[in-house]
Amino acid sequence: MQRTRWILAAAVAVALCGSTVWAAAPAPPLLGLDLAGIDHAVRPGDNFYNYANGNWMKTATIPADRSSTGTFLKVYQQAEKDTAALIRHAGAGHPAAGSNAGKIAAYYAAYMDTAAIEQHGLTPLRPQLQQIDAIATRADLARVLGDGLRADVDPINATHFHTQNLFGLFVTQGLEDPSRNVAYLLQGGLGMPSRDYYLSTDPHMVAARAKYLTYVTALLKQAGIADAGGEAKTVLTLETKIARAQESLVESQDIHKANNLWRMTDFAQKAPGLDWATYFKAAGLADQAQIDVWQPSATTGLSALVASEPLAAWKDLLTFHALNAAAPLLPKAYAELSFDFYGRTLQGTPQQQPRWKLAVAATNVDLGDAVGQLYVQRYFPAASKAAVQQLVSNLIAAFHQRLNTLSWMTPATRAKAEAKLDTLKVGVGYPETWRNYASLAIGHDDPLGNHQRALKFEYHDQLAKLHQPVDRGEWWMTPQTVNAVNLPLQNALNFPAAILQPPFFNPRADAAANYGAIGAIIGHEISHSFDNLGADFDAQGKLENWWTPADLKHFEAAGQQLVQQYDQYQPLPGLHVNGQQTLGENIADVSGLTIAYIAYHNSLGGKPAPVIDGLSGDQRFFLAFGQAWRSKIRDAALRQRLATDVHAPANFRALTVRNLDAWYPAFDVKPGEKLYLAPDQRVKIW
């Protein structure tokens, strides 16, 4: 669940198990909580996360091939196991080569054939390396850069596009004209996770830069490049200049700064340096009248670097980026170098995952809908979809109820909010239409080629949208993805099948546990339509101010109060959460938990909640929320997330409870306890 999150999408991963078939059962409700994981030595008012999860934290160990563990990993591993079985079974019965099953089987087999990968060596990458080596002019450079433009189809990360290509492409409807699709150009060009790794003076970041230089040198040397050390220094120097040109994550989150439709003729004037006509022709975008430039200052700065930096430096950079991107699918020596830096150094993960896990993950990415169809047939019956749709309806009803009780909101703004909620399109389980992979060629002995062709297939699929009507029901996640997403431009939500399972949702579990876990997650996604980003879009997904000035002032002031609250959290010594960077997610957490609590009490039908195992209904509700966020993460991975993620660390997300009045009497939280907030300091937005 990484969510830096495409600011046009807000997402959160949830932990669930994959193979449960939902069916009515006469047994009494399950508690849905881990009572043994509670640490009663901790006062809830001092550290609610440690109270809910302290005993679990004492014994939990992070697997050697992972950077973190927790409820989320437990669910992901079940989904991984389930999809692995489906992928392996796809080859049974010798399916036709052009069928989805045949392509799944071929893709997986090629990825697993390490002997063939060793035998091929760098041969699969030679055409790309030769194309780079042939660059002799700035026009050649523009052509190669344009030919390498690829689509970002991850709605979680698109605003902070992490690509080794100089730019990335995102295609969705226009900010001011929801009736047509628009191409968005996004900054890229770095080999490390974010600009902070190049520019920060933090000792850990400085150390990471030194290790990166060692890695770049080793990878180039492995490829037989004579002056590997010299070229590595050139790469790091140029990437550092690219990092300086880029906008920060917080800057990239300002949707109003991203509303920049440039005509094709504007690029040469506003961003001179790159041969834009050649670039766009090679990228297949020459027929577009205009393009939205998400980070204009970065686009101008990156284009200037294309002109000012020597061609030889760009060729060194492109050569390394080609090797780096392909390394996991090259012979073992390349793959190990890649994992040593990106896994061990940046994530603190000591051990590479087994090959079959890597193959399953890659198949799920490149043939996601093909695997997804198999997944929902096996693990997501119609009854499951209906049950979750009802839960979603309950949460939306609770949000309506909440809107009607907001004393600070004027009738004019409330009417607009109601209209937006009424038109919210909620996708549950899987998309209405599936992707057609007929034109994607997959070979049994070409894993790198399979992946590269899949990237091109996706890119051309996105380009095709520029000539098609807007699909407001478009899905941005596959059914087997353990995640969820809000899409403000579409005014839509996606809840993939894989997240809609125990322990976050179990039809046999106590309602308090279900509403505290999956209810808060669903509420979170609904609330993203009204967070600091979503609130800028109307019911049709148009970037438009629908607030009265007084209401907007109140909303923004409450948001800044939340920023200050999260700025105080310190995950590592001297390293704080960035409250502004995580604001949208924090708003959604507070609002989502609030409406889940309302929906839970509505579900009781006016009757008092039963006491189960000595716990009141409210205690079980809040404990379910706190345990949903249990997590243990390596320090290096935590540093990376703080630099690149718009979510606060999981343990601080669990502390959302301190903003709800009902949490205080539920656990007898008193003034003087560390999490206690005076009533006027508790943030209430929705």
Lowest-pLDDT choice from 94-98, 218-222, 397-401: 94-98
Domain at 377, CATH number: 3.40.390.10
Q: Is residue 422 part of a domain?
A: yes
- β-sheet with 167-173: strand ranges across: 150-151, 167-173, 181-187, 290-293, 261-263
Residue 12 pLDDT more than 60? no
Q: Are residues 349 and 402 in the same domain?
A: no
pLDDT of residue 154: 59
In the three-class reduction of DSSP (H, G, I as helix; E, B as strand; rest coil), residue 572 is classed as strand
In the three-class reduction of DSSP (H, G, I as helix; E, B as strand; rest coil), residue 381 is classed as coil
Out of 328, 354, 380, pick the residue that ends a domain: 354
Residue 26 pLDDT more than 80? no
Dmax over CA atoms of the chain, in Å, equals: 78
Residue 260 pLDDT more than 70? yes
Q: Is residue 524 part of a domain?
A: yes
Out of 354, 387, 405, pick the residue that ends a domain: 354
Q: Is residue 80 part of a domain?
A: no
Residue 14 pLDDT more than 80? no
Q: Are residues 484 and 344 in the same domain?
A: no
The alpha carbon dihedral of 652, 656, 659, 660 has a sign of negative
- Binned at pLDDT 50, 70 and 90, residue 678 comes out as very high
State CA 281 to chain mean position distance: 31
Q: Are residues 384 and 527 in the same domain?
A: yes
Residue 441 pLDDT more than 70? yes
Domain at 248, CATH number: 1.10.1380.10
Helix (H), strand (E), coil (C) string for 117-146: HHHHCCHHHHHHHHHHHCCCCHHHHHHHHH
Q: Are residues 146 and 168 in the same domain?
A: yes
State CA 257 to chain mean position distance: 21
Q: Are residues 443 and 567 in the same domain?
A: yes
Rounded Cα gap, residues 554 and 534, in angstroms? 16
Lowest-pLDDT choice from 42-56, 166-180, 499-513: 499-513
Q: Is residue 135 part of a domain?
A: yes
Q: Are residues 382 and 446 in the same domain?
A: yes
Domain span holding position 284: 112-354
604-634 confidence digits (pLDDT tens):
999 999 999 999 999 999 999 999 999 999 9
214-253 confidence digits (pLDDT tens):
999 999 999 999 999 999 999 999 999 999 999 999 999 8
DSSP 613: T
Q: Is residue 433 part of a domain?
A: yes
Predicted TM-score (pTM) of this structure: 0.90
Rounded Cα gap, residues 592 and 577, in angstroms? 20
pLDDT of residue 531: 86
Q: Which of 32, 35, 38 is nearest to 51 (CA)?
A: 38
pLDDT of residue 153: 65
What is the average per-residue pLDDT within 178-201?
A: 96
What is the average per-residue pLDDT within 69-84?
A: 91
Q: Are residues 251 and 374 in the same domain?
A: no
pLDDT of residue 288: 97
| Average pLDDT of the residues of the chain | 91
Residue 361 pLDDT more than 50? yes
Rounded Cα gap, residues 60 and 48, in angstroms? 18
Residue 8 pLDDT more than 90? no
pLDDT of residue 670: 98
Q: Are residues 326 and 391 in the same domain?
A: no
Q: Are residues 503 and 608 in the same domain?
A: yes
Domain count within the chain: 2
Q: Are residues 221 and 261 in the same domain?
A: yes
Residue 156 pLDDT more than 60? no
Q: Are residues 256 and 136 in the same domain?
A: yes
- Binned at pLDDT 50, 70 and 90, residue 377 comes out as very high
Out of 293, 327, 354, pick the residue that ends a domain: 354
Q: Are residues 320 and 378 in the same domain?
A: no
pLDDT of residue 1: 32
Q: Is residue 56 part of a domain?
A: no
Contact between 176 and 259 under an 8 Å Cβ cutoff? The reply is yes
What is the average per-residue pLDDT within 657-676?
A: 98
